Amino acid sequence: MSNFPSSAMPGLVSASRKLAASLAIIATTLFGLLVITFVVGRLVPADPVIAVIGDQADRETYQRVYVMMGLDQPIYMQFFNYLRDVVTLNFGQSHLTKNPVILDLARVLPATIELAGLSILIGAGLGIPLGIVAATQKGKWIDQVARVVGLVGYSTPIFWLGTLVLLLFYAQLGWIPGSGRIDIYNEGLVEGPTRSLLLDSILAGEWEVFWSALHHLITPALILGYASMAYISRMSRSFMLEQLGQEYVLTARAKGLPRRSVVWGHAFRNIRVQLLTIVTLAFCGLLEGTVLIETVFAWPGLGQYLTTALLYADMNAVLGAVLVIGLFSIVINLLSDVVYRFVDPRTR
């Protein structure tokens, strides 16, 4: 006889069903993403053969490359080959850099993660307290200031703000460094395993490289962080206002509990999952939205790589970058679901 308690069986069955449902959703999302990228790659007006051989090649060369790329096969076979290549992380070769796309992505992705990571730390670190304080001071001057700050950040185009910051603080005042990821004389001094200049320079003990990289990173991160802060503070204020109107808050206040204890000890605990969802969505948006700010600041990340590939119709690079962004968004949302279980026991 098994000693396994029968009362635990329904819980295991429920957990198994939830896990199966989550895996099915992830698989469906990935498949949908692959279908969309495949269709976009086939419908785009750019000729992939011309992108490889140029427009001066003769007809015989064109036909040979056309067959070599599998474009003469039925559409379902092309899709099957596409799935096989993606599963093996074979995104083809970039026509612009002449490198395998997977190597290009491994080179540029850490820079974008570095930028988006610091930006979300700024956005969440400032936006959540600002939104909560604004909610507790509803109608007062600090609430009005927070709403104006949020409205300006939410409605201002980041590429315009980035250009304005460069013109004023770099070109006119010289307070911030120019474009790029690091000073020219520090390039190539650190080549570490993570490809993150901040982490690799710390591991290598190259503090001059670290401060140079941080100096270049802080301005675009502040701009992106401000845009995230506007969104996060607005949602934090809304969530907290909803909780402050609940009966348990009124009861706690009637019992004489300090306002600080009620807000942070009770109301804030009930909006943690909602805030985690908002921060997750904001971070995914930063991974997608770095295209504009990386172009303005010539930041050598995934956004600039994708923009350049689009300008030169380098579809292998475009589709590879889009797939990586989609995969990262799925992974981040999956990790947030796991964190929910630690933040709120009711979700277990």
Note whether 172 and 260 are same-domain residues. Answer: yes
111 and 80 inside one domain: no
Phi, psi of 100 (to 5 degrees): -60, 135
Residues 243 and 125 in one domain: yes
- Same domain for 81 and 147, yes or no, is no
Q: Is the pLDDT of residue 204 over 90?
A: no
Domain boundary among 39, 57, 87: 87
Q: Is 177 helix (H, G, I), strand (E, B) or coil?
A: coil
Picking from 269, 281, 270, the residue whose alpha carbon sits closest to that of residue 336 is 281
Residue 136 lies in a domain: yes
| Inter-residue contact 235 to 249 (CB < 8 Å) | no
- CA separation for the pair 214, 205 (Å, rounded): 15
| Structural domain count of the chain | 2
Pair 25, 169 in one domain: no
pLDDT band of 1, cuts 50, 70, 90: very low
Clarify whether residues 178 and 299 are in a common domain.
Answer: yes
Q: Please give the residue that has the higher pLDDT: either 44 or 212.
A: 212
Among 87, 122, 154, identify where a domain stops. Answer: 87
Q: Which residue has the higher pLDDT, 3 or 144?
A: 144
Tens digits of per-residue pLDDT, 240-266?
888 888 888 788 777 777 878 888 877
Chain mean pLDDT for the chain: 81
Instruction: Output the domain CATH number for residue 317.
Output: 1.10.3720.10
Say if residue 162 is in the same domain as residue 187: yes
Do both 300 and 188 map to the same domain?
Answer: yes
Predicted TM-score (pTM) of the model is 0.80
79 lies in the same domain as 132: no
3-state secondary structure (DSSP) of residue 242:
helix
The residue type of 271 is I
Six-digit token string for 286: 């930063």
Which residue range is the domain that position 106 belongs to?
Answer: 101-347
93 belongs to a structural domain = no
Residue 310 near residue 292 (C-beta atoms within 8 A) = no
Q: Report DSSP letters for 128-169, one per residue.
A: HHHHHHHHHTTTSHHHHHHHHHHHHHHHS-HHHHHHHHIIII
Domain membership flag for residue 67: yes
